[in-house]
Chains A and B, each alone.
Chain A
Amino acid sequence: MISIKDLTLSFDSDRGRTIVLKEFHLDIADGEFIAVVGASGVGKSTLLRVIAGLVKPTSGTVTRDNPETPGRRPYALVFQDARLLPWRRVVKNVEFGLEGLGLDKQTRRRRALDALELVGLADKADRWPHQLSGGQRQRVAIARALAVDPDLLMMDEPFGALDAITRQGLQDELVDLWQRTGKTILFVTHDIDEAVYLADRVILLAGSPAGVRSTDRVATPRPRQRDDATARHTANAIRDRLSGTVVDGEGI
């Protein structure tokens, strides 16, 4: 389990203190798929960066049950842009996080190839990033994150920059990956339908400073249908809370 307790982040500037995140609290069970939704700019990405240790919180803690294991990294991030290093071939991009873990070359290569296999790109291992499509690049980014075998896989609007068809394909692939690997996933998106389709729990982050506005459990059994009525109902409820007004569920 991963426990995020009373996470608060503020920074001081000329115009005084800005509180970005206030007393954020979340317990994530092993193997759980959690989505965080909220308006853009509310601090969803910042939350991921604090958990990943890229930004130091003003107060609060993130703790894991799992002990530090050699050859792994506790957290891995997938960004909205694939963020591949253009000077590395695909397989070397996937090895990026494995370097500096004290693994020998063969182990790194094997684990990178295994991760590429998981996302169905083993045959592209020797390509350069610029030779891949947008969707393939994002799958490489997912492989790079999976390769370090993280306790928590964090994804920051990973499909936001893709076209609708590619996005739906990758959403299904991600669920499939999650079920096969049993990874714990924290998935940030502003697309409420996406969140409800993918996650076990949907956290609505709102307010300024941002805090947990609501938590919805999505009980729909898997495999899910995109037009599932219960899911649509949940999505609409979240949408209403987000906009602060109760309107008819139009424009799903």
Chain B
Amino acid sequence: MARPRALRLSLSLLGVVLFFAVWEALPRLGLVKSMLLPAPSGIPATFWQEVSSGAWGEAVLQSLRHYVSGLVLGSALGVALGVATGMSRTLEDMTNWIVRLLRPIPGLAWVPFAIIWFGVSPTAANFIIIVGVFWINYFSALSAVQAVDRDLIELANAFGHRSPLARLFKVILPASVQPIMAGLRTGLGQAWMAVVAAELFGVAGLGQRMMQASSLLATDIVVVYMITMALLYGVVDAGFVALRDRLLAWKA
């Protein structure tokens, strides 16, 4: 049976309150050392301290820079190659085995090469992010293009849009917007993980700042950056969903 809305809302709220209460209680009651688990009540002050010192803003900007450039490049490459492979039988046959070989390698397994090739640098971070989002977008674009209704291609032919470019822009791309967008959205999350991972290895940004704090056992600062990551991801994802819904207005 469906629960009333009000009840569900208050249960959700209760869950949040309990979560913070337990979190607050553990260090307060001395069950856990506050160095291991900082109480949430102290976090806003630490947050403000990080922001006012300028460290927070700098780290956020650095991470965003890695994130955006890696995401844009990786997604663009993935979608472009995926679409091209989806449209060309030759390309599909040629890449078939290479893809099968490279695909199962996790993005983070490229960290050693990233460091050997680019050192501990923003380029290395970019590289890891690009690899991370490339495959997601490649496969979503490839299968989206291959799933385009053949009847629509025939329609394009019947009304004079016969060149590959005309076919691409009149039918194939608009018909595959939805699955490609789904791939891009998965990539948003994947890239964020890759950013943090790359920075944990020492590239300047949120992840690096987190590692520094943790080596000083400043766990409250670590929590500040964890929250920051969650918030940034939330904002990016919400923005993307808004954009997607505008592009897919015809679905409504």
Contacts and interface: CB of A to CB of B under 8 A. Distances in A.
Contacts of A76: 158-159
Centre residue among A96, A101, A148 by max chain B CB count within 10 A: A96
A252 interface: no
Contacts of A73: 159-160
A144 B155 CA distance: 11
Contacts of B170: 96, 99
B174 interface: yes
A15 B170 CA distance: 37
A97 B159 CA distance: 5
A99 B250 contact: no
Determine the main DSSP class of A at the interface with B: loop
A77 B161 contact: no
A174 to B, nearest CB: 19
A67 interface: no
A87 B174 contact: yes
Contacts of A148: 159-160
B159 A83 contact: no
Contact of B155 (A83, A87, A99, A130): A83
Interface residues of B, number: 18
Interface of A: 52, 54, 73, 75-77, 79, 81, 83, 85-89, 96-97, 99-101, 128, 130, 144, 148
Contact of B152 (A85, A99, A130): A85
Given A85-B171, A87-B174, A96-B170, A101 B151 contact: no
B160 A81 contact: no
A79 B151 contact: yes
A130 B249 CA distance: 12
B21 to A, nearest CB: 49
B151 A86 contact: no
Contacts of A77: 158-159
A83 B174 contact: no
Nearest to A48: B158
B158 A101 contact: no
Contacts of A83: 151-152, 155
18 contacts: A54-B157, A54-B158, A73-B159, A73-B160, A77-B159, A85-B152, A85-B155, A85-B175, A86-B250, A88-B174, A96-B155, A99-B170, A100-B160, A100-B166, A101-B160, A130-B250, A144-B159, A148-B160
